[in-house]
């Protein structure tokens, strides 16, 4: 499992409009709809339902919203860098400016967990996050995420 299998270049975006967690969920829904052809409302609904179980802000300005969706064939992702951090009810109470959303088929077992582990480990690396935050251009962000092969899922 690596980022190139999880993420299309079209699913990477720098957001200037996200002013709240709910707005970010809608922006992610639109991004996933455009990149993968999924229904934006279903994506948003699934993200909000998952978020109601507990916040997915993991700390240090990073959030990993994720959900299972009917009709998916494989685990997919979307990455957003926010120009202004927002409150995400993160475990460390720090605002979020980096979000990687993951979506898995309803019956995905270990593949979903492997993808989540890969993303979590990668975005826990402060050097990678610093590089991402310093390069607010979608193409560059995609390259940073997909070229970093030093971290592999178990």
In this predicted model, what pLDDT tens digit does every residue of 108-152 receive, in sequence order?
Answer: 878 888 999 999 999 999 999 999 999 999 999 999 999 855 444
Q: State pLDDT tens for residues 77-100.
A: 999 999 999 999 888 999 999 999
Q: Flag whether 154 is in a domain.
A: no
Average pLDDT, the chain: 91
Confidence class of residue 71 from pLDDT cuts 50, 70 and 90?
A: confident
Asked if residue 152 belongs to a domain, the reply is no
Tokens of 85: 């951090």
Does residue 86 lie within any of the structural domains? yes
8 three-state secondary structure: strand
Residue 153 within a domain = no
Least confident range from 29-38, 48-57, 93-102: namely 48-57
Give me the domain span that covers residue 113: 3-147
3-state secondary structure labels for all residues of 84-117 = EEECCCCCCCCCEEEEEEEEEECCCCHHHHHHHH
Q: Report yes or no on 122 lying in a domain.
A: yes
For 134, residues 6+ apart whose C-beta sits below 8 A from its C-beta are none
Q: What percent of the chain has pLDDT over 90?
A: 79
In a domain, 79, yes or no: yes
At 154 the pLDDT is 40
The pLDDT of residue 153 is 42
The pLDDT value recorded for residue 2 is 84
Question: Which CATH number belongs to the domain containing residue 94 in this structure?
Answer: 3.40.930.10
In this prediction the pTM is 0.92
**Catalytic site positions:** 66
Q: How many domains does the chain have?
A: 1
- Residue 113, pLDDT score: 87
């Amino acid at each position: 499992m690596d980022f190139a299998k999880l993420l299309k270049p079209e699913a990477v975006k720098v957001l200037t409009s996200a002013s709240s967690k709910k707005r970010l969920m809608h922006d992610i829904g639109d991004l996933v709809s455009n990149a993968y052809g999924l229904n934006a409302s279903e994506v948003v609904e699934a993200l909000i339902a998952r978020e109601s179980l507990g916040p997915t802000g993991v700390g240090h300005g990073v959030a990993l919203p994720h959900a299972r969706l009917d009709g998916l064939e494989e685990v997919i992702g979307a990455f957003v860098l926010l120009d202004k951090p927002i409150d995400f009810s993160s475990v460390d109470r720090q605002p979020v400016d980096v979000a990687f959303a993951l979506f898995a088929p309803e019956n995905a077992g270990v593949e979903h967990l492997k993808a989540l582990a890969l993303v979590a480990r990668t975005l826990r690396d402060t050097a990678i996050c610093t590089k991402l935050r310093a390069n607010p251009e979608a193409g560059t962000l995609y390259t940073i995420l997909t070229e970093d092969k030093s971290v592999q899922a178990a």
